[in-house]
């Protein structure tokens, strides 16, 4: 009887993972497979010039986060970011992590994000912004089965009305992104948004993000030791750890202020 319960428990645990989204090595929405990357990545608010990206090939980084859309994006003007840029950096050997900074939780902590909070109709708003995320990704040459990472800055998820609104928005965004054949990812603080998503997963909530990009600074980089995420969840190849932020690095004669990430997750498919 004990063995039978253990087997049932294992099956249920695996089901909880596989129902989140197609696995990176398997079929994705609309058929086919996703492309994954394992290694180091950096992200910075402003998309850098092709010359800087070429110079930074001297670094250990081989993937880069790009803030390509969303009304909550800090660097709204991105003079270098277009379809030609994505193609060129892909040819250089870079892998892309597209980040969409949409509407933020009603109880977002950062003061500079309070003007872009989710409104009274989170389902409608999430669907609309999910559609916008796909449209802007297509304009940059990112094909179906590319991940799109929704950036939700830290919020006080213990406030239940706020948590419900935020989760409704995220799930609607995820559904719309999946409907178009893309892979919905989610970036947030490990102690707020990521903890909230893990609680929802344990409660059996559907339409959750397929990939978690969790921020926990001032610690060693790790993917599967994060205390807020069950070890069996969001794997394989479905995690990114942002382990340091706002740090200066210089490579190839160019200095940037970046966030540092360890990645084992889907990356964009560029045409």
Whole-number pLDDT of residue 8: 34
How far apart CA 137 and CA 99 sit, in angstroms, is 10
Percent of the chain with pLDDT strictly greater than 90: 88
pTM: 0.89
When pLDDT is cut at 50, 70 and 90, the band that residue 17 belongs to is very low
Whole-number pLDDT of residue 20: 34
Using omega within 30 degrees of 0 as the cis cutoff, is the peptide bond preceding 181 cis?
Answer: no
Give the chain's radius of gyration (CA, Å): 18
Whole-number pLDDT of residue 84: 98
Region 56-82: mean pLDDT is 97
Summarize pLDDT for 144-184 with one digit per residue, the tens. 999 999 999 999 999 999 999 999 999 999 999 999 999 99
Whole-number pLDDT of residue 32: 67
Region 10-15: mean pLDDT is 34
**What residues contact 4, with CB distance under 8 A and at least 6 apart?**
none
Is residue 138 helix, strand or coil? helix
Whole-number pLDDT of residue 5: 39
> Lowest-confidence range among 9-13, 112-116, 198-202, 230-234?
9-13
């Amino acid at each position: 009887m004990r063995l039978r319960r253990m087997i049932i428990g294992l099956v249920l645990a695996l089901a909880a993972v596989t129902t989140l989204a197609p696995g990176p090595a398997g079929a994705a929405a609309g058929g086919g497979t996703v492309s994954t990357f394992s290694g180091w990545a950096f992200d910075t608010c402003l998309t850098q010039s092709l010359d800087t990206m070429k110079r930074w090939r001297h670094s250990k980084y081989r993937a880069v986060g790009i803030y390509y859309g969303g009304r909550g994006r800090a660097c709204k003007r991105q003079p270098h970011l277009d379809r030609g840029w994505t193609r060129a950096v892909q040819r250089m050997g870079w892998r892309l992590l597209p980040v969409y900074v949409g509407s933020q939780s009603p109880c977002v902590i950062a003061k500079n994000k309070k003007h872009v909070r989710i409104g009274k109709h989170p389902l409608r708003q999430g669907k609309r912004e999910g559609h916008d995320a796909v449209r802007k990704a297509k304009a940059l040459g990112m094909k179906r089965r590319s991940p799109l990472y929704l950036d939700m800055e830290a919020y006080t998820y213990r406030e239940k009305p706020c948590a419900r609104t935020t989760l409704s928005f995220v799930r609607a965004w995820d559904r719309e992104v999946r409907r178009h054949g893309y892979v919905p990812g989610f970036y947030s603080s490990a102690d707020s948004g990521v903890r909230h998503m893990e609680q929802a997963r344990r409660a059996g909530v559907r339409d959750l993000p397929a990939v978690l990009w969790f921020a926990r600074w001032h610690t060693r980089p790790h993917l599967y030791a994060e205390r807020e995420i069950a070890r069996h969840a969001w794997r394989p190849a479905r995690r990114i750890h942002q382990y340091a932020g706002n740090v200066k690095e210089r490579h190839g004669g160019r200095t940037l202020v970046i966030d540092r990430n360890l990645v084992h997750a889907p990356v964009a498919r560029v045409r």
